[in-house]
């Protein structure tokens, strides 16, 4: 993490006071700096002497305000150690973070560049010993993890059943006690850049979900704008790009989005633009800068409204995990404007590839994995606590070229057949896969730390409790902010949601 990126931490979220709590030194770019920790309420201030620091950050996170500039240290960047300072204080004011131009879909199949994986031999599940350059020996700080989940407003149209389980899922089926945040997917906007409901009964379902705060007072409900289909169909795929290009149209959109949030008593807005500057999805090169400006101006509008006495709205984004899309957005510039990132670390491979692959690979050799995506965002200066790690309650499926060749990396002719509930080729819920694949045909891939399974010529990539644990351990190890699920309606009885939540609560 760069020094400038660290300085930026001061300005995000609510202010809190570290006075009287432990401090020490954190090695950054081969320098030692004062690093203080705290949880109690307070207001931003400056370090008093060498031991007290009042700082701005979230209630449970490490925070820093001013630094003690010491001689070069022998420890590597990321190491924490206690030491009494013996040099003069050097105060650093806030600074712009320099640009660093450095996936997923939320709905139906996405056509992506061919990125074939080599065949992986499956093996027994073994403890994960993978290391990363972002490892840190700093003291453990108790940081509650967020549990974010998308609810899809089209799940109400599933009318079949499977093994006694009714596929149809409505707002009435939601258990609000198992998550912290529900993103309502999706609402859209028209050619006047005005938000509007998409489904005929959105105006009924959204209030139902908001009313669930009576059962979970800490629940946050956001409207997610866009989604895969919005950026796929010709009638709408250019709208994000057109809206974001000019200041006047950005202002119209922002005002409309905030009005929509207030109309339904929502807690915020989630921007799901898939994807800026992706020409196949209606994007243009200008989107790279436009996206940053959109988020900057949205943040300014939220702060201005909050300054007039209203509760501050949350602003989040659904962000790509594929390197071909990450390179088109200015992560290092815009992350300061958003509350967190819902990182879509799924759909890394799918039926758009000529061979089978892991769509949620934790690790990979082709640069397309959960770890590669998280590393890219951390390298761009995003605080780890701002990253919600995406986890999928569904699998990606292929039709094998030969049913006898069913390993990771086997040749395929296209997407698998559609499922009884989801009704989409190449995309099945985990419970549909469970009903289809014999247990003896489910294999663990030791390289990607994910599962795959097959029946005749049908092949699927997915996660199970065993492999979700690898991801939960990774989330804890990286000190990420929490987990994001796609989606609530794909998890039968919330079995995996509850399991993963129980794991990350132990971080």
> Can you give the pLDDT at residue 142?
58
> Can you give the pLDDT at residue 27?
36
Asked, for residue 126, whether it belongs to a domain, the answer is no
For residues 151 and 76, state if they share a domain. Answer: no
- Tens-digit pLDDT string for the chain (507 aa): 444 444 334 433 333 333 333 344 333 333 333 333 332 333 333 333 322 232 333 222 233 333 333 233 343 444 443 333 333 333 333 333 333 333 334 444 333 433 333 333 333 344 343 433 444 344 444 579 999 999 999 999 998 999 888 999 999 999 999 999 999 999 999 999 999 999 999 999 999 999 999 999 999 999 999 999 999 999 999 999 999 999 999 999 999 999 999 999 999 999 999 999 999 999 999 999 999 999 999 999 999 999 999 999 999 999 999 999 999 999 999 999 999 999 999 999 999 999 999 999 999 989 999 999 999 999 999 999 999 999 999 999 999 999 999 999 999 999 999 999 999 999 999 999 999 999 999 999 999 999 999 999 999 999 999 999 999 999 999 999 999 999 999 999 999 999 999 999 999
**Of 81, 110, 129, which marks where a domain is finished?**
81
Show the tokens assigned to 32. 């030692």
For residues 67 and 175, state if they share a domain. Answer: no
For residues 160 and 65, state if they share a domain. Answer: no
**Residue 274 annotated to the active site:** yes
Asked, for residue 264, whether it belongs to a domain, the answer is yes
Contact status, residue 55 vs residue 38, Cβ threshold 8 Å: yes
For residues 215 and 328, state if they share a domain. Answer: yes
Tell me the pLDDT tens digit for each residue of 158-179. Answer: 989 998 889 999 999 999 999 9
For residues 61 and 164, state if they share a domain. Answer: no
Asked, for residue 325, whether it belongs to a domain, the answer is yes
The CB density around residue 291, as the number of other CB atoms within 10 Å, is: 25
Annotated active-site residue in 103, 107, 197, 274: 274
For residues 275 and 397, state if they share a domain. Answer: yes
| Full-model pTM | 0.75
Asked, for residue 324, whether it belongs to a domain, the answer is yes
**Of 62, 81, 100, which marks where a domain is finished?**
81
Asked, for residue 86, whether it belongs to a domain, the answer is no
For residues 304 and 389, state if they share a domain. Answer: yes
Residue whose pair of structure tokens reads 């057949």 in the numeric block: 417
Asked, for residue 448, whether it belongs to a domain, the answer is yes
Q: Which domain holds residue 305?
A: 146-504
The CB density around residue 159, as the number of other CB atoms within 10 Å, is: 10
Which of 361-372 are b and which e, b meaning 16 or more Cβ less than 10 Å from the residue's Cβ?
bbbbeeebbbbb
CA 186 – CA 199 distance, rounded (Å):
9
Asked, for residue 90, whether it belongs to a domain, the answer is no
For residues 179 and 298, state if they share a domain. Answer: yes
For residues 38 and 171, state if they share a domain. Answer: no
Which of 241-271 are b and which e, b meaning 16 or more Cβ less than 10 Å from the residue's Cβ?
bebbbeeebbebbbebbbebbeebebbbbbb
> Can you give the pLDDT at residue 365?
87
Show the tokens assigned to 221. 């409900």
Domain at 444, CATH number? 3.20.20.80
Count of structural domains, the chain? 2
């Amino acid at each position: 993490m760069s020094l400038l990126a660290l300085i930026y931490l001061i300005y995000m979220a609510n202010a809190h006071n570290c006075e009287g709590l432990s401090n020490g030194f954190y090695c950054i770019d081969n320098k030692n700096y004062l690093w203080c920790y705290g949880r109690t309420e307070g207001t931003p201030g400056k370090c008093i002497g060498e031991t007290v620091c009042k700082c701005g950050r979230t209630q449970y996170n490490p925070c820093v305000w001013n630094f003690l500039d010491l001689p070069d240290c022998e420890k590597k960047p990321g190491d924490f150690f206690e030491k009494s300072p013996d040099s003069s204080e050097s105060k650093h004011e806030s600074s712009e973070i320099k640009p660093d131009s450095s996936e997923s879909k939320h709905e139906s199949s996405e056509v992506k560049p061919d990125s074939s994986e080599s065949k992986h031999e499956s093996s027994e599940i073994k403890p994960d010993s993978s290391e990363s350059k972002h490892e840190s020996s700093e003291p453990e700080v108790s940081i509650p993890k967020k549990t974010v989940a998308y609810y899809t407003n089209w799940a109400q149209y599933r009318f079949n059943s499977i093994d006694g389980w009714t596929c149809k899922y409505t707002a009435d089926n939601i258990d609000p006690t198992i998550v912290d945040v529900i993103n309502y997917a999706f609402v859209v906007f028209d050619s006047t850049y005005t938000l509007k409901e998409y489904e005929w009964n959105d105006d009924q379902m959204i209030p139902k979900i908001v009313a669930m705060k009576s059962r979970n007072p800490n629940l946050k409900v956001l409207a997610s704008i866009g989604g895969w289909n919005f950026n796929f169909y010709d009638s709408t795929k250019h709208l994000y790009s057109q809206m974001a290009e000019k200041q006047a149209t950005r202002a119209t959109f922002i005002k409309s989005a905030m009005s929509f949030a207030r109309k339904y008593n929502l807690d915020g807005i989630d921007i799901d633009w898939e994807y800026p500057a992706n020409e196949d999805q209606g994007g243009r090169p200008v989107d790279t800068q436009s996206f940053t400006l959109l988020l900057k101006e949205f943040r300014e509008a939220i702060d201005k409204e909050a300054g007039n006495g209203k509760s501050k709205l949350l602003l989040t984004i659904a962000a790509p995990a594929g390197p071909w899309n990450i390179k088109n957005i200015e992560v290092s510039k815009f992350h300061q404007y958003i509350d967190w990132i819902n990182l879509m670390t799924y759909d890394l491979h799918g039926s758009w590839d000529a061979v089978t692959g892991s769509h949620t690979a934790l690790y990979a050799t082709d640069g397309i994995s959960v770890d590669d995506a998280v590393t890219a965002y951390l390298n761009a200066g995003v605080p780890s606590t701002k990253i919600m790690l995406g986890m999928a309650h569904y699998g990606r499926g292929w039709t094998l070229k030969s049913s006898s060749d069913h390993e990771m990396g086997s040749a395929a002719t296209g997407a698998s057949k559609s499922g009884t509930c989801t009704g989409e080729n190449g995309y099945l819920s985990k419970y549909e896969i469970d009903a289809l694949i014999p247990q003896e045909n489910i294999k663990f891939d030791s390289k990607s730390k994910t599962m795959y399974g097959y029946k005749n010529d049908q092949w699927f990539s997915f996660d199970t409790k065993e492999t979700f644990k690898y991801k939960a351990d990774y989330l804890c190890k990286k000190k990420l902010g929490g987990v994001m699920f796609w989606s609530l309606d794909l998890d039968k009885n919330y079995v995996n949601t509850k399991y993963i939540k129980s794991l990350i609560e132990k971080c």
